[in-house]
């Protein structure tokens, strides 16, 4: 059987062997073939084929001849590739002003199976079976419909219809998973959807899952990445709904030890958070070195965490000129006030870490005040404040509770 894949890009297979319809991606033979696939049952009018394939400002005048030539080339190409055709028949039939694919030649097309399976999943009353069918449909959805032909109007129409069906299946699957409290699976589902369609809706579902798993730091990082993407790449601001979610998650970060626990886990394991710069790796290496030598030297050392917050002690929103400028000023203030030999890195958009060796808790307080005064002398935004936390390095080794100043 001949198989046609269109979701994520055009692919043609005969007996599981890839078949090419020409060297040029999106050539007229591919377009003709796909139009015939989309109209296999009723056929497609000759005038519509001409309009979709050739009606351009620079097209030749004899468009009918162009169509006949393209049909001939497609027939010959399919024959050369060894694709089965009943004896005495043709791949493409033309009659009564319509062009139609020969129904005696079986074809499997992924969008047909996707649409059928998606409909079955929606209509099925048994939740387990509905979920199974939904997963089957989503597995077929490898990407957008014919992305290499996105400039074609007929492709855009189908892309929109399929995207809507994909969303319906997604919502059904997401609801089932969250009702089961399978938040990691629901997160992975939303993450895949966001990769296909980077819309805010799917980012919100991801944040909700992270919050349900109490992964507040990861949720905050996702918010920052989303805000940056919207602001820098699209020139857009986030919706009120996304900002509300940010405040809700931010309140958990503030009232729990999640932020500090996340930093402690990172330092202990040496893992690199997604999207962090290489300087963070160097910071972790230095931290591990200090951990090893402290018992021998008898010195004390602290991890100083400083975070930019608003007047309500909530994390700032990234992607705004005011908050980004405040982060830049803070970074400069830290660089000026830390001692020679101290180490500093950026943990996220508005959190900086300092590794301070040979310093007492009182010395941390003095450094905090110097940074605060330097920052305040340069930052005119009165509703932005600094939150400091001093974490004894040896406490991260003993796995005791982190101290907060």
Give pLDDT, residue 347: 80
Buried residues in 330-343 as b, exposed as e (16+ CB within 10 A): beebbeebbeeebb
Nearest of 154, 260, 162 to residue 216 by alpha carbon: 260
Asked if 136 contacts 30 with a C-beta cutoff of 8 angstroms, the reply is: no
- Supply the pLDDT for residue 61: 55
What is the mean pLDDT for each group of 10 consecutive residues in the chain (405 residues)?
Answer: 94 92 79 95 92 67 83 93 90 92 94 97 94 97 94 94 97 96 96 92 92 84 75 64 77 55 61 43 76 78 90 75 88 86 82 88 91 91 88 65 35
Are 258 and 229 in contact by the 8 Å Cβ rule? The answer is no
d(CA 217, CA 206): 13
**Pairing between strand 107-109 and 2-5?**
parallel
Q: Are 276 and 351 in contact (CB under 8 A)?
A: no
Tell me the C-alpha distance between 173 and 133, whole Å: 10
Q: How far is CA 313 from CA 87, 309, 385, in A?
A: 78, 5, 8
Radius of gyration for the chain, computed over Cα atoms and rounded to the nearest angstrom: 30
Taking the complete model, does pTM exceed 0.85, yes or no? Answer: no
Q: Count Cβ atoms within 10 A of the Cβ of residue 379 and give its class: 0-12 exposed, 13-18 middle, 19 or more buried.
A: buried
Query: What tokens were used for 174?
Result: 């997401």
Distance CA 169, CA 131 (A): 9
3-state class (DSSP) for residue 280: helix
Q: Is the separation of the CB atoms in 143 and 9 below 8 Å?
A: yes
Whole-number pLDDT of residue 55: 66
Cβ distance 7 to 140 under 8 Å? yes
CB contact at 8 A, 201 and 190: no
Question: Quick one: pLDDT at residue 24?
Answer: 65
pLDDT in tens, 301-347: 899 999 998 887 777 777 678 888 899 999 889 988 888 778 888 88
Chain mean position to CA 242: 16
Span 26-68, pLDDT tens digits = 688 999 999 999 999 899 999 999 989 886 645 545 788 889 9
Q: How far apart are CA 19 and CA 4, in angstroms?
A: 10
Contacts of 330 (CB under 8 A, 6+ apart): 306, 308, 352, 371, 375, 379, 386
Q: What is the pLDDT of residue 279?
A: 54
């Amino acid at each position: 059987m001949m198989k046609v894949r269109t979701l994520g890009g055009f692919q043609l297979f005969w007996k599981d062997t890839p078949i090419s319809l020409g060297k040029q991606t999106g050539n007229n033979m591919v377009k003709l073939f796909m139009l015939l696939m989309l109209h296999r049952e009723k056929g497609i009018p000759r005038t519509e084929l001409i309009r979709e394939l050739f009606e351009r400002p620079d097209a030749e005048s004899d468009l009918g001849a162009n169509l006949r030539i393209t049909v001939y080339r497609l027939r010959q190409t399919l024959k050369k590739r060894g694709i089965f055709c009943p004896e005495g028949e043709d791949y493409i039939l033309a009659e009564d002003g319509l062009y139609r694919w020969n129904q005696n030649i079986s074809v499997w097309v992924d969008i047909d199976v996707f649409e059928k399976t998606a409909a079955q999943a929606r209509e099925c009353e048994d939740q387990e079976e509905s979920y199974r069918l939904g997963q089957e449909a989503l597995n077929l959805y490898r990407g957008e419909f014919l992305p290499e032909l996105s400039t074609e109007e007929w492709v855009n129409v189908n892309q929109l219809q399929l995207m809507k069906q994909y969303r319906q299946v997604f919502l059904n699957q997401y609801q089932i998973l969250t009702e089961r409290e399978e938040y990691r699976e629901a997160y992975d589902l939303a993450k895949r959807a966001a990769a296909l369609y980077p819309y805010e809706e799917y980012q919100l579902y991801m944040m909700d899952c992270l919050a349900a798993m109490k992964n507040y730091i990861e949720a905050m990082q996702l918010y920052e990445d989303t805000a940056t993407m919207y602001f820098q790449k699209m020139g857009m601001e986030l919706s009120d709904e996304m900002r509300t979610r940010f405040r809700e998650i931010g309140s958990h970060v503030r009232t729990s030890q999640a932020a500090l626990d996340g930093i402690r886990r990172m330092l202990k394991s040496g893992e690199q958070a997604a999207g962090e710069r290489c300087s963070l790796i160097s910071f972790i290496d230095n931290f591990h070195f200090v951990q090893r030598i402290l018992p021998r030297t008898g010195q004390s050392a602290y991890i100083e965490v400083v975070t930019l917050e608003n007047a309500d002690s909530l994390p700032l929103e990234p992607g705004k000129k005011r908050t980004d400028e405040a982060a830049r000023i803070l970074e400069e203030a830290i660089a000026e006030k830390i001692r020679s030999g101290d180490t500093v890195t950026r943990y996220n958009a508005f959190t900086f870490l300092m590794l301070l060796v040979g310093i007492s808790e009182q010395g941390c307080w003095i450094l905090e005040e110097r940074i605060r005064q330097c920052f305040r002398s340069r930052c005119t935004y009165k509703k932005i404040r600094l939150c400091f936390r001093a974490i004894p390095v040896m406490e991260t080794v003993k796995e005791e509770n982190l101290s907060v100043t």
